[in-house]
Amino acid sequence: MTKRRLNAIEGNLSAAGKRFAVVVARFNSFITERLLQSAWDGLLRSGAAKKNIHIVRVPGAFEIPSAARTLAETDKYDAIICLGCLIRGDTAHYDVIVNEVTRGIGQSAQETGIPHAFGVLTCENLEQAIDRAGLKMGNKGFEAALAAVEMANLKKAVVGRWSLVVGKCNLPARKRKR
Annotated catalytic residues are 93
91-113: string of b/e by CB count within 10 Å (b at 16+)?
Answer: eeebeebeeebbebbeebbeebe
Q: In sequence order, which ranges of 46-125 are alpha helices (DSSP H)?
A: 64-72, 93-112
Give the CA distances from residue 142 to residues 59, 118, 134, 157, 178, in Å, rounded to whole numbers and listed in that order. Answer: 21, 11, 9, 23, 40
DSSP state of 157: H
Contacts of 28 (CB under 8 A, 6+ apart): 84, 85, 86, 87, 129
